């Protein structure tokens, strides 16, 4: 008799989702699916709006990474204007993007994933949360708060407010940076870097304890897709698309982001509102790839900042050769990127031209189609708009970082379920591992589906006739 | 009700006022709007005013540095325009499932667990009449509630809120306000 286990909602992620595990006669996992259960439809309701509204509209996609949407949207608008933004405007945009990455990665590591990493996947779920972390390691919890505060303060200093800032505009940024603000932000960097370094050092001591999880948490051969700089260095704001295969061979390189449609197709499945992007030349679903911190570090030749480059070298030592395959190491990559972001912000803020008053190019729309691509914390983010002669949007496509990872997340939960779930002896720790592999990707489902709402958690083991055979509840 | 009167703050008390809510959901904007008005009109020395879309974890670092905290929010319960004041206490069970929005009582629980101290905290709400999409525009009922709300906030700021103001409540639950989570 076939049975289904449902995990709903998946906890400690951004947004709401459900996981179902289909069991066979002997209690083995026959199939695993990650369902995005809610729908908001930004691509449709933005139609008819003036293109200049798009940064503000699409920023509402998410309360965690609005800056990422603001940047990708404004880059699409830059493309519509056919302007090249002033160099200082670009540097300022880079800083706010890196501050966003810092606070978002800090939230993922300290708030969402540290309960599993510090307390263990099998620990009492009642205390396996941020309060359990505070009691176990208060210094780490305080570091998490402070690092997020540093990232958010830089966003607010530049953008005027932490959530949905309107300082980034088509053609650049609305106001130049003044020395007082520059100095205030620079003062924050050393403390942030100290926190990032000691957290990274601490996490390195934990990694050997998770050999089994590293072996089974989405440890799979996929391609990796990210932006890289023209030199092949780590790049979060601009750059060119690089794709490596599972063996580390470069299959696409230095592809202008405006050509993304040549590389990426989008499939749909009837069990999820999240799209399934794939690498077109390999077809669906064989064209599976991963994006985000793991992909970015696997794809680059160097980070380009001193301490992050040391950490990158250590990252590559997690495996004997080739790209780091285990999705568990997204956590590691995230910490390396926080170090990089702080080092790079320091460099940019000390740039002699950073106080230049020329920060914005002004123009009317000069094209009917605009594409903006940047790296959000969770991976490459694409905004693509078409407008009519009046400047009104008549077509939108958003490919969100979490969406790029959809195929990989589905494959990952299958691998974890195969390794840990015994349908005849359902235990909470097994199912927490299934959730935890999703947390490795740090999915932002609000972005990927524009999800909205809340549900209590219920995990049910159901017979094929619908009878509930076993239930676990949290919260 | 805990029955204890709010202690009078010395003139050097450090006070933090946080107005929060969505600016595009009608009366849900009253928290940030009133916070912005307070900041614009000027506040006494030692008082800091923040305007936020949502409450996030890093605010804990701001809370622990203050003697008194006043949250400003919209509410869904009661007659539209009703101004309500509640004393808030830490509640570690008020854990949000969405990490980008925290309940104020959860923030206080973070303070208590991590730093061993909790500021004297109040929540001042106005019951909204409409939470439909509207950008920083309030209904007449919510608009009319602003003067008494400001009066109450100023009294709390100075530690002179009266018993009648209803700020002595113990553990009355804060209404789950879905509109505030937009």
| Residue B76 at interface with chain A, using a CB cutoff of 8 Å | no
Q: What is the mean pLDDT of residues A37-66?
A: 81
Residue from A452, A451, A453, A447 nearest A398 by CA:
A447
Q: What is the mean pLDDT of residues A420-449?
A: 77
Q: What percent of chain A has pLDDT over 70?
A: 88
Contact B110 A134 (CB under 8 A): yes
In-domain check, residue B178:
no
In-domain check, residue B172:
no
Among A131, A144, A195, A442, which would you mutate to test the B interface (most chain B Cβ atoms within 10 Å of its Cβ)? A131
Sort out which chain B residues have CB atoms less than 8 A from A12's CB and list them.
Answer: 99
| Residue B20 at interface with chain A, using a CB cutoff of 8 Å | no
* pLDDT tens digit sequence for A259-291: 999 999 999 888 888 889 999 999 999 999 999
Confidence of residue A149 (pLDDT cuts 50, 70, 90): very high
Stronger pLDDT, B164 or B83, i.e. the higher one: B83
Contact A111 B57 (CB under 8 A): yes
Q: What domains are defined for chain A?
A: 3-41+412-474 (no CATH), 43-353 (1.10.645.10)
Residue from A341, A305, A53 nearest A196 by CA:
A341
Q: What is the mean pLDDT of residues A387-405?
A: 93
Residue from A334, A331, A330, A327 nearest A217 by CA:
A327
| Residue A386 at interface with chain B, using a CB cutoff of 8 Å | no
Confidence of residue B13 (pLDDT cuts 50, 70, 90): confident
In-domain check, residue B173:
no
Closest chain A C-alpha to B8 CA, distance in angstroms: 30
Lowest mean pLDDT among A152-166, A194-208, B111-125, B148-162: A152-166
Mean pLDDT, chain A, integer = 88
In-domain check, residue B42:
yes
Contact A135 B113 (CB under 8 A): yes
Residue of chain A with shortest Cα separation from B108: A131
Say how far residue B52 (Cα) sits from the centre of its chain: 11
Q: Tell me if A219 sits within 8 A of A416, measured CB to CB.
A: no
Sort out which chain A residues have CB atoms less than 8 A from B181's CB and list them.
Answer: 454
Q: CA A278, A433, A131: angle at the middle one, nearest 5?
A: 115
Q: What is the mean pLDDT of residues A418-422?
A: 84
Closest chain B C-alpha to A300 CA, distance in angstroms: 30
Among A15, A137, A145, A439, which would you mutate to test the B interface (most chain B Cβ atoms within 10 Å of its Cβ)? A145
| Residue B97 at interface with chain A, using a CB cutoff of 8 Å | yes
Q: Tell me if A261 sits within 8 A of A395, measured CB to CB.
A: no
Question: Which residues of A make up each annotated binding site for Ni(2+)?
Answer: 65, 444
Which domain covers residue B73, as residue numbers?
A: 15-164
Domain count, chain B: 1
In-domain check, residue B180:
no
From A107, A131, A475, residue closest to B99, measured CB to CB: A107
In-domain check, residue B3:
no
Confidence of residue A60 (pLDDT cuts 50, 70, 90): confident
**What's the pLDDT at B180?**
37
**What's the pLDDT at B174?**
35
Residue of chain A with shortest Cα separation from B50: A161
* pLDDT tens digit sequence for A33-46: 787 766 667 888 88
Q: What is the mean pLDDT of residues B31-57?
A: 92
ipTM of the shown complex: 0.78
Confidence of residue B173 (pLDDT cuts 50, 70, 90): very low
Lowest mean pLDDT among A19-28, A305-314, B24-33: A19-28
Which CATH number characterizes residue B141's domain? Answer: 3.40.50.1450
From A111, A149, A475, residue closest to B99, measured CB to CB: A111
Contact A14 B98 (CB under 8 A): yes
Contact B58 A131 (CB under 8 A): no
Among B22, B65, B100, B101, which would you mutate to test the A interface (most chain A Cβ atoms within 10 Å of its Cβ)? B100
Q: Tell me if A462 sits within 8 A of A23, measured CB to CB.
A: no
**What's the pLDDT at A289?**
98
DSSP annotation of B134 reads B
Global pTM reads 0.87
Residues 149-188, chain A, touching B (beta carbon < 8 A): 149, 152, 161-164
Lowest mean pLDDT among A124-128, A389-393, B47-51, B136-140: A124-128
Contact A134 B57 (CB under 8 A): no
**What's the pLDDT at A249?**
97
Q: Tell me if A212 sits within 8 A of A203, measured CB to CB.
A: no
Q: Which residue spans within A211-313 are E strands per DSSP?
A: 223-228, 240-244, 250-255, 264-267, 276-279, 289-290
Alpha-carbon gap, residue A338 to A254, rounded angstroms = 25
CB pairs under 8 A between A and B: 70
Contact B57 A135 (CB under 8 A): no
Alpha-carbon gap, residue A147 to A19, rounded angstroms = 32
Alpha-carbon gap, residue A148 to A114, rounded angstroms = 15
In-domain check, residue B5:
no
From A130, A149, A161, residue closest to B58, measured CB to CB: A149
Sort out which chain A residues have CB atoms less than 8 A from B101's CB and list them.
Answer: 63
Closest chain A C-alpha to B95 CA, distance in angstroms: 9
In-domain check, residue B7:
no
| Most confidently predicted of A10-19, A159-168, A436-445, A454-463 | A436-445
From B61, B100, B181, residue closest to A149, measured CB to CB: B61
Classify burial at A271, counting beta carbons within 10 Å of its beta carbon; exposed 0-12, middle 13-18, buried 19 or more: middle
Closest chain A C-alpha to B19 CA, distance in angstroms: 13
From B53, B61, B97, residue closest to A145, measured CB to CB: B61
DSSP annotation of A366 reads -
Peptide bond into A9 cis (omega under 30): yes
Give residue for tokens 């590591």. Answer: A109
Q: CA B47, B51, B52: angle at the middle one, nearest 5?
A: 135
Crossing angle of the two packed helices A330-349 and A428-441, in degrees rounded to 10: 30
Spell out the residues 6+ positions from residue A399 whose beta carbon is closer than 8 angstroms to its own. Answer: A260, A264, A266, A275, A277, A380, A381, A382, A384
What is the pairing mode between strands B83-88 and A457-463?
unpaired
């Amino acid at each position: 008799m076939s049975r289904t286990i449902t995990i709903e909602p998946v906890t400690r992620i951004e947004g709401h989702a459900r996981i179902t595990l289909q069991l066979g006669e002997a209690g083995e996992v026959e199939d695993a699916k990650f369902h995005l259960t809610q729908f908001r439809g930004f691509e449709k309701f933005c139609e008819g709006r003036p293109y200049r509204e798009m940064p503000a509209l699409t920023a509402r996609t998410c309360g965690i990474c609005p800056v990422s949407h603001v940047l990708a949207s404004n880059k699409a608008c830059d493309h519509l204007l056919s302007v090249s933004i002033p160099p200082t405007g670009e540097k300022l945009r880079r800083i706010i993007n890196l501050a966003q990455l810092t606070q978002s990665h800090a939230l993922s590591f300290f708030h969402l994933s540290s309960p599993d990493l510090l307390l263990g996947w099998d620990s009492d779920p009642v205390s396996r949360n941020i309060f359990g972390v505070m009691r176990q390691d208060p210094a780490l919890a305080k570091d998490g708060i402070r690092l997020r505060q540093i990232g958010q303060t830089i966003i607010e200093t530049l953008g005027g407010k932490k959530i949905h800032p309107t300082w980034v505009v088509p053609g650049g940024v609305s106001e130049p940076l003044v020395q007082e603000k520059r100095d205030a932000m620079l003062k924050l960097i050393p403390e942030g870097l100290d926190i990032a370094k000691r957290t990274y050092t601490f996490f390195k001591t934990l990694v050997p304890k998770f050999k089994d999880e590293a072996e089974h948490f989405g440890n799979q051969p996929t391609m990796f897709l990210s932006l890289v700089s023209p030199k092949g260095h780590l790049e979060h704001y601009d750059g060119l698309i690089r794709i490596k295969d599972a063996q580390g061979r470069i299959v696409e390189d230095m592809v202008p982001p405006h050509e993304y449609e040549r590389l990426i197709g989008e499939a749909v499945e009837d069990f999820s509102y999240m799209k399934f992007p794939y690498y077109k030349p390999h077809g669906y679903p064989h064209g599976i790839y991963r994006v985000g911190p793991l992909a970015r570090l696997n794809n680059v030749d160097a980070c380009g900042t001193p301490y992050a480059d040391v950490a990158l070298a250590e990252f590559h030592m997690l495996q004997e050769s080739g790209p780091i395959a285990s999705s568990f190491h997204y956590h590691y990559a995230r910490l390396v990127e926080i170090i990089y972001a702080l080092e790079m912000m320091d460099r940019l803020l000390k740039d002699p031209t950073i106080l230049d008053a020329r920060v914005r190019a002004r123009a009317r729309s000069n094209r009917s189609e605009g594409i903006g691509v940047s790296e959000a914390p969770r991976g490459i983010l694409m905004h693509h708009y078409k407008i009519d002669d009046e400047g009104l949007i008549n077509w939108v496509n958003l490919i969100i970082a979490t969406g790029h990872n959809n195929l990989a997340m589905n494959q990952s939960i299958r691998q974890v379920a195969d390794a840990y779930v015994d349908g005849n002896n359902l235990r909470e720790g097994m199912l927490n591992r299934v959730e935890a592999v999703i947390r490795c990707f740090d999915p932002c489902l609000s972005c990927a589906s524009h999800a909205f709402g809340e549900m209590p958690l219920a995990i049910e083991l159901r017979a094929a006739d619908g009878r509930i055979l076993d239930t676990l509840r949290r919260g | 009700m805990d029955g204890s009167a709010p202690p009078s703050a010395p003139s050097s008390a450090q006070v933090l006022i946080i107005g929060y809510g969505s600016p595009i959901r009608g009366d849900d904007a009253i928290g940030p709007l009133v916070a912005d008005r307070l900041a614009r009109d000027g506040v006494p020395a030692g008082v800091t005013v923040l305007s936020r879309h949502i409450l996030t974890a890093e605010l804990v670092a701001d809370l622990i540095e203050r003697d008194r905290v006043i949250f400003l929010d919209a509410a869904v319960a009661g007659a539209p325009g009703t101004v309500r004041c509640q004393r808030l206490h830490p509640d570690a069970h008020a854990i949000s499932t969405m990490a980008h929005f925290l309940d104020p009582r959860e923030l206080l629980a973070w303070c208590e667990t991590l730093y061993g101290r909790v500021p004297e905290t109040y929540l001042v709400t106005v019951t909204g009449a409409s939470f439909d999409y509207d950008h920083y525009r309030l209904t007449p009922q919510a608009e009319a509630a602003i003067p008494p709300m400001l009066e109450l906030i100023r009294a709390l700021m100075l530690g002179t809120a009266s018993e009648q103001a209803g700020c002595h409540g113990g553990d009355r639950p804060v209404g789950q306000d879905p509109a505030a989570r937009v």
